[in-house]
Structure 1
């Protein structure tokens, strides 16, 4: 796909979101980027083809942290596409698992936590989250005054993060687990404690509370992301979040939409702010 001169805005598709693999596609007239690459190169290209896009056109990948469900495919992509740049902070780059394989040094770009990057018609801002990784960070993407933010893999959403992403046009917000399903489920107790802790993951209720704290008049879409296949279900996450938001008087379905993501099916491309 060639770069376009007409400004169609910033378009996004959540390609996959779950505890087993995560990737989101963001495009502007000048850029085609991935936020995380937690699936195989083959699967990522299948998902991109399903929305009419191709891996060969992706110019950058922004990695949140070194857990394989966020970085599994980045080494393959970098070696296959020598013009593709890989952005992450230095501790994350150092902690990438051996299974990722070699990423050519000339394709690595250190992107510090709390930094901003100007890529012409795409501005990217990183922000740290609380997770059991070397230095997990997520990203907010901005084009022509429209903002899209992703927040998953965090035990809580800090005031600092809320201030960074408040009143974005669209979000992916973590709703990893249902508390009862997790507590009654098959995971060993130490793993349950990890998930429930400050360096773990947001529950459905936590995600709803975070949404309430950050949405504003500009917000049009909120995607529920990073669901655990063992400790959550899409209908349960969706109903829990929507009911909590409505209980606070928020006009779900009128002022903004709450939407689901899938571990293996890409969401349709949407224009941020439309």
Structure 2
């Protein structure tokens, strides 16, 4: 059985756990090591079962503690060459990933990592490079899709394959345009290398999801330009308008910014 936990999702820090009975992954580590260990104790996750770390991109809220975690637990860190370079150059990462812990992966190249068959794919965002992950375990396909500037053909294909999907619903466009952010920051978020809106997220789902998609989690919500209930309702309305009923045809939930979700068992 596959287990999933979100330990935090948003600009305050992103971190996700995916585990089997014998193996585990951490995807991104933008929260503190003490916080991660505390959460793992609370939810019965044996951190020593985690064998490796996957990184999506080099922004601080996804990598702040990557070097510290890698050193503390002797964990290899998997990322593309460009993302590893970005981690090395990011001043927010106080402890860098040591050379012996750096493991490079390539876009669109599948690799077997313990129990997990992992394929990174390109996701547009204004980082050195940004990837999503398609992870297959025992016939289950789990997809991590965060910090999405716009929906590409590759992303459409991946959504169509997913059984379980974490996808960004970062902002409500009107809240962003009428909110506190300066124009240049609004333009960055709305650009094709920025972040995915609630509406764009919903449309990506209805256009590409299949009956094999069991559960969707909305991730990386903006604290200033979104609200969990607004994100959920917006996506739900789009789904319902196309005959997809959340709670019946697919589960739909919003990941919390600063607190864990609890343990999901994926079958």
Query: What range is the shorter-chain TM-score in?
Result: over 0.9
Q: Deviations over 1:127-156 (max 9, x none)?
A: 011100111111111111101101111111
The alignment's TM-score, normalised by the length of structure 2, stands at 0.95
SS in 2 for 1:98: coil
Displacement after TM superposition at 1:118 (Å): 0.6
Counterpart in the other structure of 2:259: 265
SS in 1 for 2:236: helix
Counterpart in the other structure of 2:22: 30
Displacement after TM superposition at 1:264 (Å): 1.8
| Structure 1 gap ranges (5+) | 1-8
SS in 2 for 1:124: strand
Counterpart in the other structure of 2:37: 45
Q: Deviations over 1:186-226 (max 9, x none)?
A: 11100100000000000000111111133211111100100
Contact 1:15 1:48 in 2 (8 A): no
2:183 to 178, 181, 189: 189
Please give the residue correspondences for 1:3-18 in structure 2 after superposition, counting only pairs within 5 Å. 9-18=1-10
Counterpart in the other structure of 2:100: 106
Contact 1:10 1:27 in 2 (8 A): yes
**2: CA distance between counterparts of 1:51 and 1:141?**
22
Counterpart in the other structure of 1:124: 118
Please give the residue correspondences for 1:161-240 in structure 2 after superposition, counting only pairs within 5 Å. 161-240=155-234
Contact 1:28 1:122 in 2 (8 A): no
**1: CA distance between counterparts of 2:51 and 2:3?**
15
Counterpart in the other structure of 1:4: none
Q: How many residues are treated as equivalent by the alignment? A: 264
Counterpart in the other structure of 1:75: 67
Counterpart in the other structure of 2:51: 59
Displacement after TM superposition at 1:30 (Å): 3.0
Matched, 1:91 2:85: no
**2: CA distance between counterparts of 1:169 and 1:51?**
24
Q: Deviations over 1:25-81 (max 9, x none)?
A: 000233111111111111222222232114333211100110011111111101111
**2: CA distance between counterparts of 1:52 and 1:80?**
20
Q: How large is the RMSD of aligned CA atoms in angstroms?
A: 1.3
CA 1:146/1:117 → structure 2, altered by over 3 Å: closer, same or farther?
Answer: same
**2: CA distance between counterparts of 1:18 and 1:49?**
22
1:157 to 128, 131, 151: 151
Displacement after TM superposition at 1:240 (Å): 0.7
| Structure 2 gap ranges (5+) | none
**2: CA distance between counterparts of 1:54 and 1:74?**
18
